[in-house]
Amino acid sequence: MNYKICILSDSDSWINLSIVDLVDYWIKHGFQVKLVHKQEDILAGDFCFILGCTQILKESTLKKNKHNLVVHESKLPHGKGWSPLSWQILEGKNIITISLFEAEMSVDSGVIYIQEDMRFEGHELVYELRKIQLTHTINLCKQFVSNYPAVVQNPIKQRGRETFYPKRTPADSILDINSSILNQFNLLRIVDNKKFPAYFEINGCRYKIRIDKVEINI
């Protein structure tokens, strides 16, 4: 089947460099694929994958494709909203569900087609967390296309109590100077050294902290 596939992501999303590999993979399999960064540029077709995207799609946009698919790092309906992976790392979780579901007008509320667990060891920094997230994201997208249309025959309706994560801001990266590094290590794991660096304030001044992982030579 010569599927027409569109991928929508924000132009400044960290995921873009790796989405190119997914585009190339599908093109090699004979599919028509286009990567866009504005919903107005979405073409009519079979599937639109919404990855690394903060845009809320209009109803008219959703009608352009047979399926509009979102990948979200939580066991829906728990953990709807923003940056679910980061918030759950802050909660101390090392097993986090990732879901591929149908986009609807109500955010993060569509039926679920595929779920699997991401496993972490508790030491990964943000770039390592993203690498694992990306691997699972691409795997879910490939699974959906490879197993279509069987994959949509038994959709899972979201059930249970909804919870929502708020949008993270630079202020969420502040460190408590009266707390230990151990108590704040999970926060240090998810800060972005460039966009949202960790920082602390003391004596009327603000200080940024960069965190990197280095090898221990024994």
Domain ranges of the chain: 4-165, 170-209
Total residue length of the chain: 218
Residue 11: the pLDDT is 95
Q: Are strands 32-36 and 164-165 parallel, antiparallel or unpaired?
A: unpaired
Rounded distance between C-alpha atoms, residue 145 and residue 49, angstroms: 11
Rounded distance between C-alpha atoms, residue 198 and residue 191, angstroms: 6
Residue 87: the pLDDT is 98
Would you say the pTM of this structure is higher than 0.85? yes
Residue 117: the pLDDT is 98
Residue 47: the pLDDT is 98
Rounded distance between C-alpha atoms, residue 86 and residue 109, angstroms: 20
Rounded distance between C-alpha atoms, residue 51 and residue 130, angstroms: 13
Residue 218: the pLDDT is 73
Q: Taking the chain (218 residues) in consecutive chunks of 10 residues, what is each chunk's mean pLDDT?
A: 95 92 95 96 97 94 97 97 97 98 94 98 97 97 97 96 95 97 98 95 97 88
Among residues 25, 72, 64, 29, the alpha carbon closest in space to that of 45 is found at 64
Residue 217: the pLDDT is 81
* The CATH number of domain 4-165 is 3.40.50.720: no
